[in-house]
Amino acid sequence: MRATIVERAPAKVNLALSVGPPGVDRMHPIASWMVTVDLHDELLLTQLPEPSFSRYAILWHPEARRRSEIDWSITRDLAVRAHLALEEHVGRQLPLQLKLEKRIPVGGGLGGGSSNAAAMLRGVNALFGLGLTRAELAQIGASLGSDVPFLVHGGSAMVEGLGERIALLPPPPPLALTLIFPEAPCPTGKVYAIFDELGPAGLRSEGVRALSAALRVDPSSPFNDLLPAALQVAPTLEDDIAEIAAVAERPVHLSGSGSTLFVVCDDPLHAEALASTITARLDLPAVAVRATG
């Protein structure tokens, strides 16, 4: 019997995101309060006998609300790259079969690809009994993307620098959100390019830290320094935000570089009702989620 495990890859939401000007390496330092939520992709990992070639399949889960073409090469997929990086780290082949079913929209600012990479690192570590710590897995993941180290851990954290400085926080207060998935794409590179043209301000680390320490997340308190740039890259987002705010009767926020929007709700029932209303009235895919510990 082949060993098989299922590893979940949760989406992350930036409840606060401050971005500094780029350094000489053109990389932007950040200060962000990130939380994982219960919207997730699923990785089915099956150990193969040695010697075998690894096999990878990536497809949309039937429950996915916003789909796009899976048109990238297998070797560019972050989960596959994480597997290869782990093989390089341990100095041997770790043959497996991957079936990745995606619910998290591609390029939506929810860290889907990075979370797939983090889940692959955790899953392969467990499947092959490698005995690596979360800190070691996060270090391997840092070369794959700035969100990967946080997503190796998940939960709630203050994330700074280029994503490598992670201060894990206690579970956030009960937090229900409605996520909305506009059609407009927000390529990360373009958003950061416009952000630089607009003249980035300094990092607001203390503001992020204060928000993360609050006993309750007020619906108006999240903020994102990338929002003005995202609105220039995808101008239709402005109308989406206005229409959602009119329905929700509270502020609408952007996660990451976009284009996913979110509303802080009173409780899970409120989030479910708002998601249904937005989907019906505005014809925008929306889901209710909760922060996970």
Q: Is the N-terminal amide bond of 51 cis, ω within 30° of 0? A: yes
The distance of Cα 64 from the centroid of its chain, to the nearest Å, equals 15
pLDDT number for residue 290: 97
Residues of the chain with pLDDT under 50: none
Distance CA(60)–CA(62), nearest Å, equals: 6
Q: Which residues are catalytic?
A: 12, 147
**pTM of the predicted protein model:** 0.95
Rg (CA), the chain: 19
The answer to whether the beta carbons of residues 20 and 196 sit under 8 Å apart is no
Q: Is 262 exposed, middle or buried (0-12, 13-18, 19+ CB in 10 A)?
A: buried
What is residue 284's three-state secondary structure?
A: coil
pLDDT number for residue 1: 57
Distance CA(202)–CA(195), nearest Å, equals: 12
pLDDT number for residue 173: 82
Q: Which of 44, 33, 36 is nearest to 11 (CA)?
A: 36
